[in-house]
Structure 1
Amino acid sequence: MDRKKRKNREKGNSLLPIALVIGLVITIGFSFFPRIIDPWVNANLVEEELSMDMPLGRYLSNVWDEPNVIVALHGYSHTTPNGDDSAEFYSECEEIPTSYIEDHVERAMRVFNSLGIKEYLFEPPGFAWDERLVKILEEKGFTVLEGEVHGRIPTKVAYSVRPMRFILAIRKLNGSLGPKGEEILNVLSPKAQTVGETVEKNLMIEIVDAEYTWNWRCMTNFEDPRYEEALRNLKSDNPTRIILHYPDLNEFTKRFLEEAVKMPSVKIIRCDDIKSDSDLRKIDWLIELGKRNDVFVELVVVPTVVPSIASWARTLIRVSWYLFLWTVVLPTVILVTWFLFGWYFIRRRKLKSLKKVEELERKPLISIILPAYNEEKIIGDAIERAISQDYGNVEVIIVDDWSTDRTREIAESYARKYNNVKLITNGKNRG
């Protein structure tokens, strides 16, 4: 019995490394789950469109026709069908159907129409040129011109190599450009060309775009080297349009913009990714800055409200997931795998034993008789050899001839342990 337990223990120990490897493979596989599920979650979040019931909707309805303000649609949801939030209408990683592009353009326009916004730009997320989008915008009543960007755009949305083609789409009023559209083109038209010539001849718009404040939302003081570097680059770039993202509009960005609008070349400040939860006081400050310095302020709005998960919450969820994997999933998988392997091999061994018993039952019984008198030194080995022979259907009979040493005691221990071992004791020594 002890030998059997020892064999089972040794077999179980040999299976543990296999269970460990399987547990690691499964755990590492599940560690990629957040990356797989995130795009799906982003693509399937319920979208709510801007309306007059929302503060941002009412705000845009009031400011769109102010002299130095031009509002722009930043697509519809700022996401591709697969949930990529760096683009919407074109992506290097997926094929986007034309029907998706047309549907999102129509939905975005419907939002601005419901807010009473009549003249606006269409700024698709990401810098790229897409013939399908151009055709759809022209069919929907936009004047679409081709532009070429030269400048400094250090964000993930700028995945093309400089210089880049971009779409300048201006919503028409009664079939022609309105006053704001003409003002924008006056700023951006090639030198010595009129707005009419630019539109009629479809001339290339060249613009120096620059974004200096990307990720300044994490800046904590003016001693940050990025601040001085931005000022130096500003003077050397002479940008036409300065781009910033709303989350970066903090005290450091404000100070920088106050310096930037002093540059004669700066004609437009473009603020991207304005959403329903944006602080309208910051936008007021931006518009006032433009008025004081005769600079256009372009408010680029994502017209849908999508329930979002804050970055810190996403980080917490991922950390919790990894902790769960390594502290719960890994040990559980190892133990379950180890148990199942052990159960399988024990069951297989039992089946073999049953098969062996069946085979034994088909063989004639052979009795091995071991006469013994004072054989304590060799009786144990003799019994072991007898019961370990490979015939199978055998019984071992020890005949103790009234030994005076431990022979009978040893034989009795084997008889208790094995069913096929029997002990016969003579009442006296018979020689």
Structure 2
Amino acid sequence: MIRPLPLFIGLRYTRARRRNRFVSFISASSMLGIAVGVMALITVLSVMNGFEKELRERILGMVSHATVQGYESGLSDWRELLPGLDQRGDVIGAAPFVNGEVMMTRGSAVTGALVRGIDPARETAVSRVANNLIEGRLDTLADGEYRIILGSRLARELGVTTGDAVSVITPEVRASAAGILPRLRRFEVGGIFEVDMAQYDGSLALIHLADAQRLLRMGDTVSGIRLEFDDLMAAPARVREIARALPGNYLVSDWTMQHRNFFRAVAMEKTVMFIILMLIVGVAAFNIVSTLVMAVQDKQSDIAILRTLGARPLTVMGIFVVQGSLLGIVGTLLGTGAGIALAMNVETIVPAIERLFSVEFISGDVYLISELPSDLRLPDVWRISLSAVALSLLATLYPAWRAARTAPAEALRHE
């Protein structure tokens, strides 16, 4: 089989046993460094992708894709708006809600909470809270029954379970014969939900929409309308269309506006982490420079003989480009395989390490989630692998250029 001369000789040099063992050691360390860097990049980016995906799903499972609210106060005409929003082809669910900050007490336990009034019949179309109930059912919330569904952490703080009673105290006060007293209402715990996010498990409580309106003295007004779209990523464009179509001035916002800073921070962290870990790959790739410089010095006489036999400088340069690039390609392939395997099994490996050493890497009290997720994406694998190969190729250029400039007479003078 006929092969180009630079490829043939470059492959022979790569397979041949070197006289200088130190060159072999640096070659192996360069290849290993590239493999470790690529593996770390794939694994870390997969974990960050999983972290972002998990948070997005959990947050949007509780807050909806978009909301329609009044500019200064609540929505009093929400009953007229709902049919029009329901009839839009891109809206798969619309539900009114009432939000209010309250204090909750049970015996000596006191804690602050966000109470949300919902319509149980419509809520399942805009949130996944019904799928996260660990006790009770969502349809236990009925008008006038004054039942409440608590987040799991909130329920533990209050020391309550299904069937117990809690007192809900609003910020408003009322005058009585005994003086100024806070407004208070007793609710029966009808269920407990858990979404594994401290932000919601520890502070959110759900009650019926009509009970919330009476508790907060809102009359027939609601805080707004929550919307669920058929396409999550199209929410910004859909919100602009809805804002133009609504008959009046309303504040229409989507999930990217409500959590813009958070998701921007996650995207920035991914970019910074990619750059930092790519520097590790870069350091390992540029170790190839040392390997090839010493290889060129070791093969001075061979280069001189090739030149005297008629090999052009570009041919000599190609030999060492092949030799150095092969180190980078093999290291990249090893790192890619190891990174894919690790990223696909990180959800099993991390809990095993935590159990083995009795440590906790992700604390639910500190982070928004308590598990380490992973989401391996093919574009990230290609981007990392091609970047590593490109850095390896770049590292070969200077030593190869030096080899091409070797003068045959000088190299053979002492032979």
The TM-score bracket by the shorter chain reads under 0.3
Q: Which protein is bigger by CA-based radius of gyration?
A: 1
Which structure has the highest helix share of the two?
A: 2
Report 1 or 2 for greater relative contact order, CA contacts < 8 Å, sequence distance ≥ 6: 2
TM-score by length of 2: 0.26
TM-score by length of 1: 0.25
